[in-house]
Amino acid sequence: MTQTTTIATLRSDEKIATWLDELNRIGPPETPRPIPDGDALASALDYLNVPEDDHATVTRLRETLLADDALAGITQRAVNQLLQIMDVIADPVDFPVMPDTLGELAPFFHLYTYLAVLPDTIALHQKRGIDDATSRAIMADIGRNMLVHRKRHGTHGLAAPDWLMLHPRGMIYAFGRFQFERAHIGEDLAARLQAQGIAANADDIGLSLHIPDFMGSLSSDAWDRSFADARTFFADHFPEEKIRIVWCNSWLLDPQLRDYLTPTSNIIDFQNHFRDIVPGAWNNQGPLRFTFGPADLPLDDYPQETTLQRAVITHIRDGKTWTGGVGWVTL
């Protein structure tokens, strides 16, 4: 595929075309960021927690990417897109899912951007005084999302490349069971806080709580450990942001789960930590995806081995919709 053909093929997708326009506006970094090779690549894959059975594929596809000048140029511009907003709370044009026309490279494509920018991410963490263990803990989420891709699609690759843009920019950090994303609280949450008598503005910085896959139970002990570490970390490394509020937008905060789960379940205990939970804007695809992986199977094909699995399917089979929930808590 020639460079012209590659670009034309990618631009046939409207979302990718918008992203490419943004990359052209930004241009490549002043100093190129090479994709690591050899021992440096092996070390970087380890840092990102990339599954070992993907290492050979990633190494081989690196050559495929670099052999195409158009794709190599896109990767360098994508690196620069991240560099423009390192440590800055902003909403960039998202990395899109790449088309199947790129063949085996498509689901791995954005991994090479994260590999190329990794030294800059480590340097950012060091500038903030963040230790290597904390840096590794959040960057390992990239490899974990490759396991999520397998869970959802049954194939290898990188899930949710747009979500992972947060990690190399220093916008999100992991402590135990949870991840904490630096973000503006926004108008809706500010209004809810004001209604509770708490002074708040939309551009105040808080933490959006995330619940990654493959990280264990939602016990109160896990909550206490995560929040204790987060309190210390953000006070030490981001004192200027004066973070007070943590919020969560999750299907696990759906009030309807109380109709199916016992009051002593870890999920209900998780909900009980939050104040002022209101229904969210989720649909049934989210609970299916997060509980089972694939979200497009006939309902009878999903396993019904746990109370939660049975709850998700029974609710949908009864013609109801999961809405999720949004709640907040003070840090």
Gap between the Cα atoms of 181 and 168, Å rounded = 12
Gap between the Cα atoms of 45 and 58, Å rounded = 9
What is the predicted pLDDT for the residue at 113? 98
Residue type, 286: G
Shared-domain flag, residues 163 and 179: no
Using alpha carbons only, give the angle 139, 143, 145 rounded to the nearest 5 degrees.
105
Q: What integer is the mean pLDDT of 30-43?
A: 98
Q: How many domains does the chain have?
A: 2
Last residue of a domain, one of 154, 170, 186: 170
Gap between the Cα atoms of 62 and 109, Å rounded = 9
pTM for this structure? 0.93
Average the pLDDT over each of 15-29, 207-221, 257-271 and give the range with the smallest value: 207-221
Shared-domain flag, residues 128 and 37: yes
- The two three-digit tokens of residue 111, written as one number: 């991994």
Of the CA atoms within 13 Å of residue 34, those in its CB half-sphere come to 6
Q: Using DSSP, state whether 51 is helix, strand or coil.
A: coil
DSSP state of 327: E
What is the predicted pLDDT for the residue at 285? 92
What is the band of 4 on the pLDDT scale with cuts at 50, 70, 90?
A: low
Q: What integer is the mean pLDDT of 248-263?
A: 96
What is the band of 6 on the pLDDT scale with cuts at 50, 70, 90?
A: confident
Over residues 62-104, the pLDDT tens digits come to 999 999 999 999 999 999 999 999 999 999 999 999 999 999 9
Shared-domain flag, residues 181 and 253: yes
Position 213 pLDDT exceeds 90: no
Average the pLDDT over each of 22-36, 175-189, 276-290 and give the range with the smallest value: 276-290
What is the band of 3 on the pLDDT scale with cuts at 50, 70, 90?
A: low
Over residues 106-165, the pLDDT tens digits come to 999 999 999 999 999 999 999 999 999 999 999 999 999 999 999 989 999 998 999 999
Over residues 179-196, the pLDDT tens digits come to 999 999 999 999 999 999
Shared-domain flag, residues 69 and 137: yes
Shared-domain flag, residues 143 and 208: no
Position 1 pLDDT exceeds 60: no
Gap between the Cα atoms of 71 and 265, Å rounded = 48
Q: What percent of the chain is modeled with pLDDT above 70?
A: 99
What is the predicted pLDDT for the residue at 216? 80
| CATH label of the domain that carries residue 199 | 3.40.630.120
Nearest to 115 by CA among 168, 153, 191, 55: 168
CB burial of 145-156 (b: ≥16 within 10 Å; e: otherwise) equals: bbbbbebbeeeb
Last residue of a domain, one of 130, 153, 170: 170
230 Cβ neighbours under 8 A, 6+ residues apart: 173, 175, 178, 180, 207, 246, 331
Shared-domain flag, residues 284 and 160: no
Give the range of the structural domain holding residue 96, as residue numbers without chain letter: 3-170
Q: Which residue is listed with tokens 């929930």?
A: 325
Gap between the Cα atoms of 153 and 157, Å rounded = 9
Task: Judge residue 93's burial from the number of C-beta atoms within 10 Å of its C-beta, 0-12 exposed, 13-18 middle, 19 or more buried.
Answer: middle
Position 2 pLDDT exceeds 90: no
Helix (H) or strand (E) holding 181: strand 178-184
Shared-domain flag, residues 198 and 82: no
DSSP string, 227-243: HHHHHHHHHHH-GGG--
Shared-domain flag, residues 88 and 122: yes
Position 33 pLDDT exceeds 60: yes
Shared-domain flag, residues 163 and 182: no
Shared-domain flag, residues 145 and 207: no
Question: Nearest 5°: phi and psi at 260?
Answer: -120, -30
Q: What integer is the mean pLDDT of 215-235?
A: 93
Shared-domain flag, residues 119 and 230: no
Residue 286: C-alpha distances to residues 129, 272, 305, 308 (Å): 36, 21, 19, 14
Shared-domain flag, residues 19 and 159: yes
Last residue of a domain, one of 147, 170, 193: 170
